Amino acid sequence: MRVLRNSTPDSRPEPGSPQDRFGRALAHAPHRSGDRRLHTPRGLRNAGRYGRSGTFPPVPGRSVFHLTLCALCCVLFALVTWQVAVGGPLVGADMWLGNALQRTSPPDAVAEACADLGNLVVAVPVLVAAMTYALVTGGARRWLPPLCLALALAFTALAVTVVKLWLGRPGPPGGTNYYPSGHTATAAVAFGGAALLFSLTVRRPPYWPLPAAAALLTLACSAGLVWRGYHWPLDVVASWCLSWVVLTSAAALMLRGLRRQRPGKGGAPQRS
């Protein structure tokens, strides 16, 4: 008796064929359907600005960069301070460069306006405005970032005063206690801290203009101080290094506190 074979062709592709590889690729592709929950619970995600969803810098790569730059600033500050303390060759080169920059100064009104950016009546109100905005719009634990920046500014003023009294470096206009530059440190911490606070609180801002504006204002203040003969160049360089270390430490404390801001709802998050 003849056995009739099924005339319907096998719909499965042959192993190794392009159709087979395409089907396997689809089988392993991740599904993004709306009815399927994400594998990462919301409680385990990194909190964004003041607890909102998203990732707030510094990410791991940026953290390494910031720590490396912080270490370099510490080394440079120690080197410059040692040279000023012992009257090393950097001091002579610094004075020569300062005198040369004073001869190429822009109009006195422009240089004076730039130098005034580091005054307490100019820089501190900018930071206070940013702190007030953060307190009003910051949400839970809104007090933490302003407190960190207030402590950073106070620590900077204390550190600058101690180093000034310890070294007693003469300045271009005469007198002593010009190293490091208090105006530069005030401008850097105040403007940098304000940029950091606005980055934390303003919804969906373009982040780069804020630190760029803070850096430009600090550089303008430093240039004005040297142009007008209020400070030597190494005075402002030392304040840059000190301010970067202080701001980096304040940012690390803020982010550490904000990451502990909201635990997952209903206790510890469960894996799905």
User: Is there a contact between 80 and 72 (Cβ–Cβ < 8 Å)?
Assistant: no
How far apart are alpha carbons 136 and 125 in whole angstroms? 16
The residues near 229 (Cβ < 8 Å, ≥ 6 apart) are 98, 102, 172, 173
Per the CB < 8 A criterion, the answer to whether 255 and 56 are in contact is yes
pTM for the structure as a whole:
0.72
**Residue-wise pLDDT tens for the chain (272 aa)?**
454 455 445 555 555 554 554 445 444 444 444 444 444 444 444 444 444 434 444 444 567 877 888 899 999 999 999 999 999 999 999 999 999 999 998 898 999 999 999 999 999 999 999 999 888 886 656 788 889 999 999 999 999 999 999 999 999 988 899 999 999 999 999 999 999 888 877 666 567 788 899 999 999 999 999 999 999 999 999 999 999 999 999 988 888 877 765 544 434 444 43
The reply to whether 159 falls in a domain is yes
Judge whether 264 lies within some domain: no
Classify residue 8: in a domain, yes or no: no
Confidence (pLDDT) at 37: 47
What whole-number distance in Å separates Cα of residue 134 and Cα of residue 145?
Answer: 8
- Confirm whether 272 is domain-assigned: no
Q: What is the pLDDT of residue 13?
A: 54
Q: How many domains does the chain have?
A: 1
For 264, residues 6+ apart whose C-beta sits below 8 A from its C-beta are 41, 42, 43, 44
| C-alpha closest to that of 239 among 201, 185, 170 | 185
Long-range CB contact pairs, 199-203, < 8 A, 24+: 199/49, 200/49, 200/50, 200/56, 200/134, 200/138, 200/145, 200/254, 200/258, 201/49, 201/50, 201/133, 201/134, 201/137, 201/138, 203/49
> Within the chain, where are the H helices?
18-28, 60-86, 89-103, 108-115, 120-137, 144-167, 182-201, 209-227, 233-259
Dist. CA 172–CA 123, nearest whole Å: 24
Residue 40, in any domain of the structure: no
Domain membership of residue 271 (yes or no) is no
Position 6 in a domain: no
Boundaries of domain holding 228 = 59-259
Residue at 226 is within a domain: yes
* Token pair for 57: 């810098």
